[in-house]
Amino acid sequence: MKLPIAIVVALLVCSANNQIQVKHLFANQSVIVWHNPHFAGILRKTALPIGFYSGGDWKAHCQVVKSSVPAAEKFESCEDAVFWDHIGGGALLKRLVVVSCDPGRRSWNTVMGPLRDPEPRGGLWLYTPSDSDSEVPSLPQPIIFTGYPDGHDFHPLGLEITPSQDGGSSSLFVVNHARQRSYIEQFLLNPSNTTVATWVRTITSEYLVAPNGIAITSPTSFYVSNDHLMTRRLPAPLGSVLPILETVLGLPTSWISHFTLLESPHGQPTFVADHSFAALGIAFANGIALSPDGRTLAVSSSSMMQVHLYDRDPTTNTLTFANTVHVPFAPDNLSFDDKGTLFAAGHPHFPSVIAIAKGHAGAVAPSWVVSISRRADAQSGAAQDLKEYDIHAPISASAKVPAVSSHVVETVFQSNGSMFGTSTTGLRDSKSGVHYIVGLYDQGMLVCKP
């Protein structure tokens, strides 16, 4: 019989005078397998290649783009990236990439720790893709804030932006893990001055416990994932113990909320209203993404090495669980391309990520990005096909996780971390076929052209 979680927590909190280290829990993998066999899959290190790209030789097709701006504004430790589309007359005119980065992540990380120094500020960056025939990539540019409150921290995580229609401004929402608590910041970006973001408001709510990913449903509404119920902001020793237990035991204590911003009828500033719980009972709900037709919401479950798919009612924003897809890593952020193919990036070996977060010299962590597409015959699917999927990758996803009859998983990119590590987001521009990948603790952004 399994011990009640409360007893396990009490034993751990009381042990060794509360001097608990992550490695102690990871070392006893049998305990983790006993309660959460899924998480054990990312405790075993896999011999991934230096690099693999499904679009061709990675040495010829992939390049890390970095910035040339002063060191104070480093383009590194980037967590999320999204496309910013400029639409005119109903047609796509331009597609840029907005990236959230935080060079101070090794000193301030409210998800993994530490919470040592919140002073260095993160930032947003804009990348303008170079022409398809150009061999020289363009350089990312920092986005300057106007109107941002003095003394207000900025440690960005997930973000999402609405398209610009006929030269109009776009609404940009960004998760901000500031020192006091976590918020969502709203900005406006305009195509006439692409590297300037005008601050609109800071959104607060008791339901923003540990916000992580954002999926916009309208210019004034969005879904947001809360990755933990118990966070590192809790007083010691609880803050260093309970979030770890919640993660490795795969406790289904995180959720998806939906928020709508309403104008005050009395002329006061806009406030958050009409909150609803969209999905409950998820283990480590991380990245989220809404399909192009608005009818499917994808949610990462990092602890379970799974991506959950929900059917969405666009008129009510109600979610109904539909499918679960297994992936060979702890999935982080998700993205859909224009054709409805889902892309997931994540961490194949969690202890390596922890080693980087703890500042171990020379530590690197691997990357893995996959595509997830619906099978042509989702209801049946031959048994042989289910066994032999992802056959072109050096390390097949089929060697790590079982297939499902509804969707097929294919590797887009792999690296042992020496070429590009700690992948968190993988984007694909279906117009050009170019992939964009960012890493939680790596420098720059990987751009792979087919």
* Per-residue pLDDT reduced to its tens digit, 48-83: 999 999 999 999 999 999 987 765 568 999 999 999
**pTM exceeds 0.75, yes or no:** yes
Mean pLDDT over 313-334 rounds to: 98
Q: What is the pLDDT of residue 26?
A: 47
CB neighbour class for 392 (10 Å; exposed up to 12, middle 13-18, buried from 19): exposed
For residues 300-323, average pLDDT: 98
- Per-residue pLDDT reduced to its tens digit, 187-237: 999 999 999 999 999 999 999 999 999 999 999 999 999 999 999 999 989
Q: Using CA atoms, how far apart are residues 142 and 301, in angstroms rounded to an integer?
A: 31
Average pLDDT over residues 326-332: 97
Instruction: Calculate Rg over the CA atoms of the chain.
Output: 21
Look at residue 103 and give its three-state secondary structure.
Answer: helix
Half-sphere CA count of 259, side-chain side, radius 13 A: 26
CATH fold group of domain 5-448: Neuraminidase (2.120.10)
Q: Is residue 56 within 8 Å of 450, Cβ to Cβ? A: yes
User: Between vectors from CA 281 to CA 276 and to CA 286, what angle results, nearest 5°?
Assistant: 80
pLDDT tens per residue across span 420-430: 999 999 999 99
Give the Å distances, CA to CA, from 50 to 65, 151, 357. 18, 42, 21
d(CA 388, CA 405): 13
Residue 30 has pLDDT above 60, yes or no: no
